Amino acid sequence: MVNLFRLLGLPDPSKAASPAVTRPKRSADPGPQKNDSFHDFGESRWEDRTKRMMSKPERFVHYVKPDDLHRLNLHGMEVRLTAGDLIIADLGSLVHMPTQQDVCRRRIQTLGEQSGLPVFALNEADTLLMIAGRNMRVDTEKHLLGMAKWGQLSEDENQSGESRL
């Protein structure tokens, strides 16, 4: 006679149950093992390699916003603009103080005039202002920002809507 339990793939209850083999629980992350190939990127050889491959940045983006006394610290920014840095001033925290916002806006405009660079408003409320540094191009029609030395804006894109800095 055919064993029905065996036919269905079930254990046969007439046979004594063998003791279950307990296996240790395994983790998805077993942790460090012997002879693992591990690279510590903090080692000096990796740091030296990275320094050789990447040059130090020459230009920076300065994000300026009013301090606790609602003043803009623009000290030394004229030098940074002549070095080619980009300044973005966020006056959004002064929405409830339109007079102080106008004072800060005038200071940014004065900084742009002293540097001979135009000031651009990046939003409708004129609370986000940008001064692009030396050798930067701003296309006011297509809203592109690029660097003159890299030629990010091709000459056919340089129409009357562009301000060359």
DSSP 157: G
Clarify whether residues 69 and 111 are in a common domain: yes
Give the range of the structural domain holding residue 164, as residue numbers without chain letter.
Answer: 135-165
Q: Please give the average per-residue pLDDT across 57-72, as a whole number.
A: 90
Query: What pLDDT score does 141 carry?
Result: 78
pLDDT at 118 over 70: yes
Sequence-distant (6+) residues with CB within 8 A of 137 are 144, 145, 146, 147, 148, 152, 153, 158, 162, 163, 164, 165
pLDDT at 152 over 60: no
Q: Please give the average per-residue pLDDT across 118-127, as a whole number.
A: 89
Q: Give the chain's domain count.
A: 2
Alpha carbon 12 to chain centroid distance? 64
Query: What pLDDT score does 16 carry?
Result: 65
The domain that holds 84 is classified in CATH as 3.30.110.150
Clarify whether residues 62 and 111 are in a common domain: yes
Strand blocks (E) in the chain? 61-64, 86-90, 119-121, 128-131, 136-139, 144-147, 162-164
Please tell me the distance from the alpha carbon of residue 31 to that of residue 154, in angstroms, as a whole number.
52
Helix (H, G, I), strand (E, B) or coil at 144: strand
Clarify whether residues 125 and 144 are in a common domain: no
Instruction: Name the nearest CA neighbour of 85 among 152, 133, 117.
Output: 133
The percent of residues in the chain predicted with pLDDT above 70, rounded, is 75
Clarify whether residues 64 and 100 are in a common domain: yes
Clarify whether residues 119 and 85 are in a common domain: yes
Q: What does pLDDT average to over the chain?
A: 79
